[in-house]
Amino acid sequence: MRFLKKLVTALLLLFIPIILDAYLHEYSKVYQERGLATGQPGINRFSGNPPGETTVLGRPYDGAPPLVSHDINGLAINGSENECLDCHMEGLELDEGNTATKIPASHYINEYTKEQKKDQVLGIWYNCFQCHVPQSEEEPPYSRENH
Amino acid sequence: MKKITRREFIGKSSITITALGATIYLNPFEAFSGDPDKDLFWDKAPCRFCGTGCSVMVGIKDGKIMAVKGDSESSVNQGTLCVKGYSLPFIQYGMDRLTRPLVRMKNGQYDKKGELTETSWDKAMQLITDKAKQAIKMKGPASVAMFGSGQWTIWEGYAAAKLFKGGIGSNSLEVNARLCMASAVAGFMTTFGMDEPMGSYDDIAHADIFILWGANMAEMHPVLFSKVTERLLANRKSQLINLTTISNLSSRMAASEIIFKPQSDLALANGIANILIKENMYNKDFVKKHVLFKSGKENIGYGLEDKFVFQEEDKVVNFETYMNYISAYTPEYVEKISGVSPSDLLNLAKLYGDSKLKVMSFWTMGMNQHTRGTWINNLVYNLHLLSGKISEPGNQPYSLTGQPSACGTCREVGTFTHRLPADMVVAHKEHRKIAEKIWKLPEGTIPAKPTYHATEMLRALDRGDIAVFWSMTANPFQAFPNLNRYRNGALKDGRFIIVSDVYPTRSTEIADVVLPSAMWVEKEGAFGNAERRTHFWKKMVDAPGESRSDLWQIIEFAKSMGHGKLFDFSPLDYPIPRQHKASDASLTAGIYMEKALWEEYRQFGLGQGHDLAPFEAYHETRGLRWPVINGKETLIRYREGYDPYVEKGAGIQFYGNRELENRAIIWLRPYEPPPETPDSDYPFWLCTGRVLEHWHSGTMTRRVRSLYKAYPHATANMHPEDAKMLELKDGDKIKISSRRGEVILHVEVGGRVTPQPGMVYVPWFDEDVMINNVTLDAYCPISKQNDFKKCAVRVDKIS
C-alpha cells in the first residue's frame, strides 16, 4: 500500500510539470511571428547562364512543369517564332551529354477539344513562360531559419 | 541520439539526389514523387487564385495535397494551368502557418500594446463579442465592420451579409473587391442595368480581333491569354492590339502595341466613337433599336476628402446631342491628350467598325482602378453598342475580374455596404422586404442606409467612427492606398482589429486578435468566375491545428452575439454529407451548412435573371454559368436563342433596363484629368500592379519556394532613358516618394516590363516594399474604387 502511495505521488510529481507545461503551452505562449518580412528590399538575381550551359533543375513535384535553369532574357515567343521550341521541341543535344528537356506529348493535344497536332505545339501550350519559370539563387527567408 | 533538423535533412537529401543525378527539385515541404495516377486520390476544385476560374484536379495522399493538374474536362482551362496554379500543393504547407487563435496580451489580459499570445477559440471569441457589444452600445451597430474578400467562398460572403445586415443591423460590410472591380460593376449597372459579362470564355474561339485596354493579360490572366494565343495562331484574320501605358509581355503576341498616356483612355474611346460616327462605320439599325443615350454629371471630384458624397444627375439625350458631344474628340485632340497617332486611332476605329470582324475588348485593373473607372467602362461599352458587336459569339466587351470569387461572392451575393443579393440594394424598400422575407426577419430589420464603402471604412476607423474592424481573407494593411494613414489609424487606442488569415502578414502584425483560418480544399467551397460560372469543391484535407473556416468563424460569432437563429436549419432537410468530408461549419452545427445556405441564397435569384441551380448540380459538374434554367447554363445573355430570358421575336433585349424599353445606354462621358499629375517636385507617374508568379500581397505565393525564387522581390521598373537621366543602373537602390510616404527598393531596367518614359512600375506583392505608403487614396466617385495606377512620385538614388 505504501509502495502504491509512493508510486502515485511519484507519478503525480512527474506528471504535474508536464500537465502544467502542456496547459501553459496551450494557452499562454507568446507567438513568435516569423513572416516573410526581412525589412530589406532585394534584387532579383538570376544565373544568367545561356541555354545549354546549365544543369537541369527538374520539377517541384512529379507532374509539375519543369523549372528553367538558364537565362531566358531575349528569347522570342511571338506569333511567328518561339525560340524555346528550337531546343526543347526535339530535346536537342547541346554539348557533351547536356540535353534540352523534350516537350512532352501533352503539349500537342488539347484534351478538352480533342484537337491534336503531330508537329506543332498547340496554342494553349505556346506561352512557355506561363508555367516554366527560371529560379534565382535566393532562398525564401523562412527556409534560412533553423526549424 | 542527435536529432536531425529539417534543414539538415533537406540539405542532405539535396546532396544525395544531386549525386544520383536525378531531376527532383526538393521543396522545403515534402514534394510528391511517384506515379500521380496510381498513388493519388483525385478530386476537382477551382484554382485558389485569379478570376479566370481554372479547374484543377487535386491529388491527395495520406491527408495531404501532393499534386495538382489542369482539368481537361473544364472548358475554362482545357487541361492547362499557370505556374501559380501548379503551385497550389504548397500554399497550405508554409512553415509559419497560423494554427491557434492569438490575442495581444500583457500580464494575461488583453492589451493593445501587448504581445500576440496563444489562446483558445472560446476566449478569443468572447473578447471579440465583448468589444463588438461595447461598440454597438457606445457608437451604434455601424461601428462594427467586416472587411471580406473576393477570395471568400460564396457561403462565407452570404453568411457575413446575413449576419451583418440581418442580424447585427450594420451595413458596414465591405470587401477587397471594392478595390478590384467596383468600377466594372458600376459600368455594367449604368450601361446595362445588370451586373457581369454577357458572354463567356467560349467567345474567344470565335473572335477575330482582341483589344486589350490596359490589361497585361499574359501575366495577369495567363490561361485566358493562352486561349487568345490559340485563336491567334489558328486564325489568319486574328489580331491582338495591346493598348497600354507599359510595354509588357502581352505585346509579344500583338500585331501592334499602342502606348497611351495615363488617364487618356477616356479620350481614346471617345475618339474611336467619333470616327465610327463621322466615317459612317457604326451599326445604325442596332443603335436605333437597342440603344438609349444619356448624359451625366461632370467634373465629379476624386473622393480625396473624408465623407465625400457623389450624386449622379443623369438625363436622356438624343443621338445628335451625343454626336456633337464627341465631335470634340478629333484625332488631333486625342493625340494631344493620349500621345496616340491619328493613324493608330483610325486603325482601331476600323477594327471596331468593320462589320466582317468579330471583336472582343478585354480589360481589368487598368480601367477599373481609375478615378474615372465607371466612365471608361461606359465608354468601351459605347464602342460595342455603336458597332452592335455585343452578345454574339466572338463579339463581346469583356470585363475580366481579378479574384476567384469577386463575381460569385462579392458581386452576386452583394457583400458591399449598399448591396443585397441579386443586384438588389439596401436603399430600396422593396429589395429589403424581399431579403427580410427570405431571411424570415421582421420588416424593418435591414438598415436602409449604406454606411461606409471600403476607403471610407478605413477613414472611419482612423477617425474613430468604426471601433471594431474584422478582416477576413484579405490583407488591407498592405493593400490599401495611402497606407500610412490607415495603419496609423488602426493602431490608435479604441480601435479593435481582428484579422482572420492563414499566415502572418502586414495586417496580422497590427491586429489585436489573429484567427487561424482554414483555406481552399480544407473546407467545402464555391467560387464564381468572370464568365458567370459557379464552381464548387469538397473538403479534401483537414486544416492544421485549430484553424477554422471563415464560415465557421462567422457563425460562431453570430451565435456569440445572440444571432445564432440566422443559421438554424433543420437536420432533416440538410443532413450532414456522408460521401465526403464534412466541413467544420457543418460538423459544429450538425447540419449540411453549405447546402442549407446555398438553397436559401438561391431563392434571391430565381426568376430574376440570376437563376442558380440546386446544390448538387455544382458538385457533379465543372461549374455552370448562370442563369441556369431547367438545368441548362447560359453562354450568352441578352440574345434570343441563347438566353431564355429574351422574349420570342425580340432578337436582343437588354432586360436589365426593362423600364427603358430593354435598351442599353450609350453614355456621354468626357476626358477629365487625374487628381494628381507629375510636376517639378514629383516628376514621375507611379503605376502599381502584379506579376505572373505572385498573387496579390504574396502571402501564399511567396511561401512557395519555386515561386519565391522565380520572382523574389518587387523592384521598380523604369524606362532606360529615365534611368540614364537619373544616372541609375540596373540594381541601384532608390527611394520612391510621394506627398504621402516613401519606400526604398531597387531599380530594374530592361526587365520584363518597360513603362513609358516618365513612369515607374512597382508590383505590390512584396511586404518589404510597401509601395502603398506612396499611392494615393483617390477613387472613382461613382464606383468608389481606388486608382492604384496613377500618382505623382519622385525617384532618388540612394548611395
Q: Is the pLDDT assigned to residue B28 strictly greater than 70? A: no
Which of A39, A73, A127 is facing B222, going by the closest CB pair? A127
Q: What's the CA angle centered on B174, arms B765 and B627, to 5 degrees?
A: 95
d(CA B32, CA B13): 14
Q: Which of B150, B167, B271, B402 is catalytic?
A: B402
Phi, psi of A26 (to 5 degrees): -60, -45
| Confidence at residue A3, expressed as pLDDT on a 0 to 100 scale | 77
Tell me: the pLDDT tens digits for A9-35? Answer: 777 777 776 666 555 555 567 777 678
| Sign of the torsion formed by the C-alpha atoms of B93, B99, B102 and B108 | negative
Interface pTM, i.e. ipTM: 0.92
Question: Nearest CA to CA, how far is B657 from chain A (Å)?
Answer: 37
Taking only residues 31 to 70 of chain A, the set having a beta carbon closer than 8 angstroms to any beta carbon of chain B reads 31, 33-44, 56-67
| A130 to B36: CB separation less than 8 angstroms, yes or no | no
Element (DSSP H or E) covering residue B666: strand B664-668
Enumerate the residues of chain A whose CB falls inside 8 A of the CB of residue B255: 79
Rg, chain A, Cα only: 28
Q: How confident is the model at residue A125 (pLDDT cuts 50, 70, 90)?
A: very high
CB atoms A35 and B35 under 8 Å: no
CATH, range B6-90? 3.30.200.210
Rounded to a whole number of angstroms, the distance from the CA of B649 to the nearest CA of chain A is 33
Residue-wise pLDDT for B714-728, tens only, equals 999 999 999 999 999
Q: Do B226 and A59 touch (CB under 8 A)?
A: no
The yes/no answer on whether domain B182-402+664-668 falls in CATH 3.40.228.10 is yes
Residue-level pLDDT at B572: 97
Average pLDDT of the residues in B730-756: 97
Q: Which residues of B269-292 are buried (b: 16+ CB within 10 A; e: fewer)?
A: bbbbbbbbbeeebbbeebbeebbb
- Considering only CB atoms, which chain B residues are within 8 Å of A64? 67, 86-87
Compare A27 and B274 and report the one with higher pLDDT.
B274
Instruction: Quote the Cα angle for B141-B143-B149, to 5°.
Output: 100
Determine whether the interchain pair A111/B59 forms a contact, defined as Cβ–Cβ distance below 8 Å.
no
Q: Where are the domains of chain B?
A: 6-90, 102-171+408-529+533-618, 182-402+664-668, 684-775
Q: Which residue of A has its CA nearest to B769?
A: A41
pLDDT band (50, 70, 90) for residue B336: very high
- The reported pLDDT for the residue numbered B384 is 98
pLDDT confidence band for B18 (50 / 70 / 90):
very low
* 3-class secondary structure, B194: coil
Q: How confident is the model at residue B11 (pLDDT cuts 50, 70, 90)?
A: very low
- The count of other CB atoms within 10 Å of the CB of residue A83 is 15
**Res. B8: pLDDT tops 80:** no
Which stretches does DSSP call E strand in B214-311? 239-244, 246-247, 256-259, 291-295
> Apex CA B689: angle with CA B686 and CA B692, to 5°?
140
Per-residue pLDDT reduced to its tens digit, B166-208: 999 999 999 999 999 999 999 999 999 999 999 999 999 999 9
The pLDDT-based confidence of A7 (bands split at 50, 70, 90) is confident
Residue B596 is inside which H or E element, if any? helix B593-601
pLDDT computed for residue B20 by the predictor: 31
Asked if B519 is an active-site residue, the reply is no
Q: How many CB atoms lie within 10 A of CB B356?
A: 6
Instruction: Check residue B14 and give its pLDDT.
Output: 33
Provide the CB-side half-sphere exposure for B627 (13 A, CA): 21
Task: Fill in the amino acid letter for A11.
Answer: L
Our CA-based measurement puts residue A73 at a distance from the nearest CA of chain B, in whole angstroms, of 8
Label residue A1 by pLDDT band (50, 70, 90).
low
Give the residue-averaged pLDDT of B520-546.
98
Predicted pLDDT of residue A36: 84
- Measure the CA–CA gap between B25 and A61, rounded to whole angstroms: 7
Annotate chain A with DSSP letters as a single string: -HHHHHHHHHHHHHHHHHHHHHHHHHHHPBP----S--SS-----B--PPTTSS----BSSTTSPPPB-S--TT--BSSS-BHHHHHHTTT-EEETTEEPPPPPGGGGEETTTTEE-SSS--GGG--GGGT--B-BSPPPHHHHS--
pLDDT for B469 equals 98
Q: Residue B39 has what pLDDT?
A: 87
The H or E element that residue B437 is part of is helix B429-438
Question: CB–CB of B96 and A34 under 8 A?
Answer: yes
Residue contact B123–A27, C-beta within 8 A = yes
Is residue A24 within 8 angstroms of chain B, CB to CB?
Answer: no
Which residues does residue B118 pair with via DSSP β-bridges, in sequence order?
B102
Lowest-confidence pick of A95-104, B232-241, B755-764: A95-104
Confidence grade of residue A98 (pLDDT, cut at 50, 70, 90) = confident
Class of domain B684-775: mainly beta
| CA geometry: angle B171, B300, B323, nearest 5 deg | 120
Name the more confident of A1 and A109: A109
State pLDDT tens for residues B555-604.
Answer: 999 999 999 999 999 999 999 999 999 999 999 999 999 999 999 999 99
Please indicate whether residue B84 is annotated as part of the active site.
Answer: yes
Kindly state the average pLDDT of the residues B326-352. Answer: 98
pLDDT of residue A144: 37
- Which residues on chain A are in Cβ contact (under 8 Å) with B89? 61
Predicted local distance difference test score (pLDDT) of residue A26: 52
The mean predicted confidence, pLDDT, of chain B is 95
* Residue A115 reports pLDDT greater than 60: yes
Confidence of residue A53 (pLDDT cuts 50, 70, 90): confident
State the CATH architecture for A48-137.
Answer: Orthogonal Bundle (1.10)
Q: What is the pLDDT of residue A39?
A: 86
CATH no., domain B102-171+408-529+533-618? 3.40.50.740
- B22: pLDDT strictly greater than 80: no
Residue B697, pLDDT > 50, answer: yes
B155 CB-side CA count, 13 A: 27
Catalytic one among B365, B424, B540, B687? B365
- Summarize pLDDT for B455-499 with one digit per residue, the tens: 999 999 999 999 999 999 999 999 999 999 999 999 999 999 999
B22–A28 C-beta distance less than 8 A: no
Q: How far apart are the first and last CA of chain B?
A: 50
Q: Are B145 and B452 in contact (CB under 8 A)?
A: yes
The 8-class DSSP code of residue B167 comes to I
Question: How much of chain B exceeds pLDDT 90, in percent?
Answer: 94
The length of chain A, given as a count of residues = 147
What's the confidence (pLDDT) of residue A142? 66
Residue B244 φ then ψ, to 5°:
-155, 160
Nearest to B195 by CA among B426, B416, B421, B411: B411
